[in-house]
Amino acid sequence: MVVVGGDAAGMSAASQARRRRDADDLEIVAFERGGHTSYSACGLPYYAGDVVKDWRPLVARTPAQFAERDIDARTRHEVEAIDLRSRRVRDLAAGRSSEEPWDVLVVATGAEPLRPPIPGIDLPGVHGLSVLQDGIDLREAVDAGPRRAVVVGGGDIGLEAAEALVNRGVPTALVEAGPQVMGRIDPDMGALVSQAVRDVGVELHTEEKVEAIEGDGGVRAVRTAARTLEADLVVLGLGTRPAVGLARAAGMTLGPSGAIAVNPRMRTPHEGVWAAGDCVEARHVVSGLPVNYHLGTIANKQGRVCGINIGGGYATFPGVAGTAVSKICDVEVARTGLSEAELRPLGLEWESATVDSTTRAGYFPGAAPIRTKVLAERRSGRLLGAQIVGREGAAKRIDVFATAIWNGMAVDEMVNLDLSYAPPFSPVWDPVLIAVRKLSEQVERTLRDCL
Ligand SMILES: Cc1cc2nc3c(=O)[nH]c(=O)nc-3n(C[C@H](O)[C@H](O)[C@H](O)COP(=O)(O)OP(=O)(O)OC[C@H]3O[C@@H](n4cnc5c(N)ncnc54)[C@H](O)[C@@H]3O)c2cc1C
């Protein structure tokens, strides 16, 4: 078994396969072009921000630990080509190419950050935040005490980078091309997050595109159509795309989302070839359409499924709801299912309700605001999506909505869900229940009007 990509999906697949087949039966070699295996990219902003003091605990398992389990994880080995016919990969290490044969191949090359051809994007001082080394480099740059930073892009990674910089006392501006930060949630909810960004002292510029990064031997400023922002440190958070260059060159089938097509067992249409993680597409449980999300939650599960199947077991990956949480300082943001922008092209009709509540009983110390938005199909009341913006304790409530979406529940079925309550944790009517109650009343009214 040859694995291309030594992080979440690839090494989960390797570990699961090893649990089911011992080394006499299955030899496992994993190629990772970076210097580390099984690292938590999700922890990188917190390392840069000094919340996590040391990068080493971000590595869940080193090549030496894999070796103890008879998994040969080779770092600084870049797979340059996959040959589906001769069943070999060509890999490059320390300037030398060599070939490795396989009976079973797992492509787990992840996602790659978008780097549009903006003049100056390759200047020293411009950082991405994708692999572990990027986090180590960014941390060093922040430790060196930059005078001003600009974050480009207001998605999850951009916001987490902005939080890190603010926490380290670096004056920071954030430039976002869209009308609000967090473009994956609806603009009315995104506006709350934009306000939170401003409230923590980040100079936020929305509806502005970066035209150039200026400097000479090092970054000096970021230019948009409207202004020039001085900066000696720039962090890019412009989004990611599936890393499918290798798969495409090998002639592997890509799906409509542009990611590698797999069946529910994570097998590609090519004999002996499997794929998992950010580089593959999955079925969205609400729309039924193929999508490509870049989330560690999904990559780990897909890698596990892939490894179980390679190990001789039977497992399937049913799909994704796009559940994700993030935060900017004290403000938590969560989403699951589809947003209004995502629903529009599907031709579905929906109702939405937004409610303001508190994270704890209103009288209880620490009760903080939480806004919950829920979307349901107009006639059936089927829950289609939910978004939450609030303070401590807000975000993980999204998991109730995710579970309901997963099970195809309608909002009226959710109203009497037996959710927990005590004053330090929630009001007696949890914000989840208040939101679905309001929406279910709306759905009922619409139904009555139709009759
Ligand atoms: C800053 C940041 C924060 C994040 N926060 C969260 C979060 O809070 N929650 C969440 O769910 N997700 C989060 N994610 C996303 C999550 O990290 C990814 O979804 C997950 O790592 C995907 O796992 P993967 O194995 O598919 O791909 P990756 O982790 O990208 O691993 C792919 C590996 O393949 C290697 N590779 C690629 N091509 C080759 C080649 N040709 N030869 C050899 N090796 C190759 C790469 O070096 C890489 O190590 C975050 C990501 C980042 C960057």
**321 in Cβ contact with 305 (< 8 Å):** no
Of the pLDDT bands very low, low, confident and very high (cuts 50, 70, 90), residue 448 is confident
- 164 DSSP assignment: H
Element spanning 297, H or E: helix 296-310
Residues forming a β-bridge with 185: none
- Residue 447 has what pLDDT? 84
Question: Among candidates 274, 283, 384, 273, which has minimal Cα distance to 336?
Answer: 384
What are the backbone angles phi and psi of residue 315, rounded to the nearest 5°?
-150, 150
For the chain, the maximum distance between any two Cα atoms, rounded to a whole number of angstroms, is 73
Confidence of residue 13 (pLDDT cuts 50, 70, 90): very high
Give percent above pLDDT 90 in the chain.
98
Q: In a mutational test of the pocket of ligand 1, which residue from 40, 109, 326 has the highest number of ligand atoms less than 8 Å from its CB?
A: 109
The confidence score (pLDDT) of residue 449 equals 84
Residue 225 reports pLDDT greater than 90: yes
Please give the average per-residue pLDDT across 66-86, as a whole number.
Answer: 98
pLDDT in tens, 255-309: 999 999 999 999 999 999 999 999 999 999 999 999 999 999 999 999 999 999 9
Is the minimum distance from the CB of 8 to ligand 1 under 6 angstroms?
yes
Residues identified as active-site: 42
230-265 pLDDT, tens per residue?
Answer: 999 999 999 999 999 999 999 999 999 999 999 999
Strand order in the sheet with 71-75: 71-75, 28-32, 2-4, 105-107, 273-275
Q: What is the pLDDT of residue 76?
A: 97
Answer whether residue 433 shows pLDDT above 80: yes
Q: Is 402 in the pocket of ligand 1 (CB under 6 A)?
A: no
**Is the pLDDT score of 451 beyond 90?**
no
Q: Best substitution site from 39, 91, 295, 398 to test ligand 1's pocket, by max atoms within 8 Å of Cβ?
A: 295
- Taking the CA atoms of residue 56, residue 59, residue 65 and residue 71 in that order, the dihedral angle to the nearest 10 degrees is -150
Mean pLDDT of 137-154: 97
Centroid of ligand 1 to alpha carbon of 200 (angstroms): 28
Q: Which atom of ligand 1 is nearest to the CA of 240?
A: 53
Tokens read off for 36? 């580390």
Query: Cβ–Cβ contacts within 10 Å for residue 133, how many?
Result: 14
Nearest to 12 by CA among 56, 101, 73, 55: 73
CA 279 to ligand 1: nearest atom = 26
Residue 184 Cβ contacting ligand 1 at under 6 Å: no
